[in-house]
Amino acid sequence: MESIKIEVQYFRGCPNSESVLNMVKNFVATSTLNLEFEEVLVESQEDAEKYKFRGSPTILINGKDLEGLEENKTPSLACRVYRSGLPTERDLKTFIENLN
């Protein structure tokens, strides 16, 4: 199976970044899947525009947003609210199982 890339985009000071980063790191460390992990620190408006930032924290799996949120046309350093609360390891596993 090809490697699956999980990227977490965030900015310092976001109240949910640390818990989401820890959850994703634990998922990657304990998974039997071939996973790559990348942390992307968004530190400026220029970075937000470069990444078309959807808000902090954002989880992308193979470039696809965990909730299907489109790239932001007016990106800014903003916190992100997830519809069902913060994502869990189960959410990551389900998303990856449905990749294709």
pTM of the model as a whole: 0.94
Span 49-91, pLDDT tens digits: 999 999 999 999 999 999 999 998 999 999 999 988 999 999 9
How open is the CA angle 35-17-99, to the nearest 5 degrees? 35
Mean pLDDT (whole number) for 42-52: 96
Look at strands 64-65 and 35-41 and give their pairing: unpaired
Give residue-wise pLDDT tens across range 15-41.
999 999 999 999 999 999 999 999 999
C-alpha–C-alpha distance, residues 81 and 5, integer Å: 22
Peptide bond into 57 cis (omega under 30): yes
Domain segments of the chain as ranges:
4-97
* CA–centroid distance for 68 within its chain: 11
Q: In terms of Cα–Cα distance, which of 70, 67, 1 is closest to 36?
A: 1
Query: Which CATH code for domain 4-97?
Result: 3.40.30.10
Residue type, position 88, single letter: T
